[in-house]
Structure 1
């Protein structure tokens, strides 16, 4: 089979060269700003269990205000003939698409109003047939008990819903967990205090309670129609795991000696004998392990000394894991067996060696597989592989206007920080440049905890590189991807050690000859915007300018006004990660502007709930009072980052002119 498959790959080369669009020379003019401001067109592709239908989320960037900008679309396979379309409410989109049988889908919804935050769940879960008929609201947090919210909406309590699985074999039902909200909670406190899991009939909407535990925000692992495991975080870096033998048994906490520093249960084998989990013993990178259901008799299946397991690939026919993904440096798959899925994955990644190729699901028979490929220069392409005819059929590109051969190479690098900690980053070099002595932009990511930069296509980095700048990105301590200990190393160090990591990553690029030390600016969004204000303060004379995009100028504002301050877990995070209000002010750029001596472009949404707009206005007022130069860009009706395409394009144009002014491009 494998030999025939490799031959089929040769015929399927079109899949990833389709993004190129012709030969281009380095002398060509920069690409239109609009190419980088636009958003991808498709998401969440999911194949029906019988392999006959493809469902996906489509984004319509040309939708007028008030019109739906997302649709749930179903196409027939393999001819891609249109079957149905379900329009979403404006700014609503599918967060997942889950086929519960050959003809019916369950779709949790998400709400998007900002560019710097992932879409947030709305508390709504719907079900619909492949042809758009029999639409049913399974749960609606906002409309609970109202007309159209589902006939059984009051049979479940008020809470935050999440889909935690489907029965095997699929029977039209779905497992739905709820983090219950107290009816009489403290003012502004919306935390869950109890968790339940239900078996919900997606046609009638009728729920059957499967599990109930007196701990908030828990998730569940279900096997054989019984909720066997419950797990959740008691704080930002510790996971508690509970188990029970059957539906009538009480929940028993698995001891910390077994769960280690962190343990996340993933699945139970179909015969019920094995539990697969992500596990970290002493805070190091997360490993994939197998064990008994109580966590004992643990065996390590995959690990890396530097990076955590980022994703697990599951064989649809056996239900077992066949590969894991490590995202450090250039991402790569480590294989656990030689199953058909593993063979297909290996052959695809060998043939398309400049891409990361992932199998994105298959029919229940394992005959048809969705294939998704992306690279540092390609935002992504989707294809269909048919094991019967050994055919690889291109389907869609995520951003078809992006021509991969005009995009910049992203090079992983590692360096040792001054305190000895090994760190990694990514260097993006302009296409066709010498790669030496380049004007440079340091680009800190947001977060800071639990977020990371990766090798695959990065819009900001590609835009800047397309304008002739080298781009340096650093996964400073606190970033995701290296285990709970590495994340904890960022706590209480927002203003010092994290900033030093960023600066030392920049110095690595300068020392290697990539960056001109006399032509450097810093730009970032959210925590990256905060870092853009802090970098000129901790390294006077290093930077020519800074761009603060939705950044924090005063941490104490977030204590009072940020949406995260309205839940106790958010308040606990502020206290643990930063400290009290005095500590917050001590690391805030607003109170250190006597050391801030570079021009700054301030860009902020006026309705930002995460980093309130006052961060920008108070910074502007203080700069005015001090007589220091700045440029200003604010947008009404924008949240945490600009969502509207026109506003994002305006931001990029301001950045382009601002950087050219101070770096001479």
Structure 2
């Protein structure tokens, strides 16, 4: 794993009340000894013959005078200063602590789960789904994944993103565009790698719902940053899909503000394309595992099918597993999906 982050610092903006909730149902038990596959056919976490990953572009797409992924690709990422705020609990397998780190000067909070032992351990950054920032509490949204992965031997850093919990405030425009959330996620990896008990050459991202979109944005912005990525019940990789599906229904004033500042999709198509990760999928160098429930009424399964097809077309080693009858919460099949996730991560973070 070696990163490709260019060197041009700029202030960027992430996104809005785009509504895939990251609320957790009751915690599930830890990793089972055996699990059933989600559907017949090859296990996506097992050895495969994927297409050759796309080579990183020798040149970047043109910079823009509006917020864009092309500009985020030029960011001078500098995650550092991860410090413990307080210890929440110690289990038989790990210690869970509230932490904060610096994302290019912005303070971002989160939770850190450290397995017992000296390490160095492989590590995972978790990108949570949408939860209204005014009611969000630190570490919320992926408690089941935190526990499972820490018990599986991974150091886990769940980033709250700016504007959430104990972090520095976010602007309304940052909430709407969500580019800064991707910046915070990239910097979370860099801050995590500085810990002496983390193996900096074995890192990954796992994103859920809105966090799936954050993860895809991070992968195109910083190819080579991590070794693998897993996405659950993701929002669309096309910014306009999310804007129309979530923001227009829940915060129409935010859509009007975007149109006033940057133009409508009809007048400024390049602006909206520049916020869509799929525009730059050929930059992604990491294998990607996608989970989606076929009964998901929040983030339509067709979004993940399209994302998967476009990733494959771009040369990315993408795998999609769909779960009949499973909805957005991934409750009934959560253990199955996490067993697959753990195998996938162990395969690609094997050193």
Partner residue in 2 for 1:371: none
The C-alpha deviation readout for 1:216-269, integer Å capped at 9, x for no partner, is xxxxxxxxxxxxxxxxxxxxxxxxxxxxxxxxxxxxxxxxxxxxxxxxxxxxxx
Q: How does 1:15-164 map to 2 (within 5 A)?
A: 31-33=30-32
Partner residue in 1 for 2:187: 504
RMSD: 3.2
Question: Which of 425, 440, 449 in structure 1 is aligned with 2:110?
Answer: 425
Partner residue in 2 for 1:470: 155
Aligned partner of residue 491 in structure 1, secondary structure? helix
The C-alpha deviation readout for 1:26-67, integer Å capped at 9, x for no partner, is xxxx954399xxxxxxxxxxxxxxxxxxxxxxxxxxxxxxxx
After superposition, the Cα gap between the structure-2 partners of 1:34 and 1:446, relative to the gap in structure 1 and judged at 3 Å, is farther
The C-alpha deviation readout for 1:196-215, integer Å capped at 9, x for no partner, is xxxxxxxxxxxxxxxxxxxx
* Aligned: 1:461 with 2:146: yes
* Aligned: 1:635 with 2:323: yes
> Does the Cα contact within 8 Å between 1:491 and 1:576 map onto a contact in 2?
no
> Does the Cα contact within 8 Å between 1:425 and 1:505 map onto a contact in 2?
no
> Does the Cα contact within 8 Å between 1:441 and 1:471 map onto a contact in 2?
yes
The C-alpha deviation readout for 1:615-637, integer Å capped at 9, x for no partner, is 20111221232342122211233
Question: Which of 587, 591, 609 in structure 1 is aligned with 2:275?
Answer: 587
After superposition, the Cα gap between the structure-2 partners of 1:648 and 1:510, relative to the gap in structure 1 and judged at 3 Å, is same
Aligned partner of residue 175 in structure 2, secondary structure? coil
Partner residue in 2 for 1:300: none
Q: How does 1:478-627 map to 2 (within 5 A)?
A: 478-480=163-165, 485-486=169-170, 488=172, 490-495=174-179, 497-552=180-235, 553-560=237-244, 562=245, 565=248, 567=249, 569-574=250-255, 576=257, 580-581=264-265, 582=269, 583-627=271-315
Partner residue in 2 for 1:658: 344
Aligned partner of residue 624 in structure 1, secondary structure? helix
Partner residue in 1 for 2:121: 438
CA–CA distance in structure 1, aligned partners of residues 275 and 285 of structure 2 = 17
After superposition, the Cα gap between the structure-2 partners of 1:493 and 1:449, relative to the gap in structure 1 and judged at 3 Å, is farther
After superposition, the Cα gap between the structure-2 partners of 1:424 and 1:559, relative to the gap in structure 1 and judged at 3 Å, is closer
CA–CA distance in structure 1, aligned partners of residues 327 and 340 of structure 2 = 19
- Between structures 1 and 2, the one with greater strand share: 1
Question: What's the TM-score once normalised by structure 2's chain length?
Answer: 0.66
The C-alpha deviation readout for 1:370-397, integer Å capped at 9, x for no partner, is xxxxx545xxxxxxxxxxxxxxxxxxxx
After superposition, the Cα gap between the structure-2 partners of 1:539 and 1:503, relative to the gap in structure 1 and judged at 3 Å, is same
- How big is the shift at 1:471? 0.6
Structure 2 portions without partners, runs of 5+: 1-28, 35-83
Q: Which has the higher contact order (CA 8 A, sep 6+)?
A: 2
CA–CA distance in structure 2, aligned partners of residues 563 and 494 of structure 1 = 14
- Between structures 1 and 2, the one with greater helix share: 2
The C-alpha deviation readout for 1:117-169, integer Å capped at 9, x for no partner, is xxxxxxxxxxxxxxxxxxxxxxxxxxxxxxxxxxxxxxxxxxxxxxxxxxxxx
After superposition, the Cα gap between the structure-2 partners of 1:456 and 1:540, relative to the gap in structure 1 and judged at 3 Å, is closer
- How big is the shift at 1:480? 4.3
After superposition, the Cα gap between the structure-2 partners of 1:34 and 1:641, relative to the gap in structure 1 and judged at 3 Å, is farther
Question: What's the TM-score once normalised by structure 1's chain length?
Answer: 0.36
Partner residue in 1 for 2:96: 410
- How big is the shift at 1:514? 3.4
CA–CA distance in structure 1, aligned partners of residues 196 and 141 of structure 2 = 24
Aligned partner of residue 490 in structure 1, secondary structure? helix
- How big is the shift at 1:641? 3.1
Q: How does 1:150-189 map to 2 (within 5 A)?
A: none
> Does the Cα contact within 8 Å between 1:523 and 1:529 map onto a contact in 2?
yes
The structure whose Rg is larger is 1
> Does the Cα contact within 8 Å between 2:220 and 2:280 map onto a contact in 1?
yes
The C-alpha deviation readout for 1:76-104, integer Å capped at 9, x for no partner, is xxxxxxxxxxxxxxxxxxxxxxxxxxxxx
CA–CA distance in structure 1, aligned partners of residues 150 and 208 of structure 2 = 17
Aligned length, in residue pairs: 265
After superposition, the Cα gap between the structure-2 partners of 1:463 and 1:407, relative to the gap in structure 1 and judged at 3 Å, is same
Structure 1 portions without partners, runs of 5+: 1-29, 36-327, 331-353, 355-374, 378-404
Partner residue in 1 for 2:52: none
- How big is the shift at 1:454? 3.0
After superposition, the Cα gap between the structure-2 partners of 1:534 and 1:514, relative to the gap in structure 1 and judged at 3 Å, is farther
The C-alpha deviation readout for 1:517-573, integer Å capped at 9, x for no partner, is 21111001011111222222111111111101111222222344x3664x3x33334
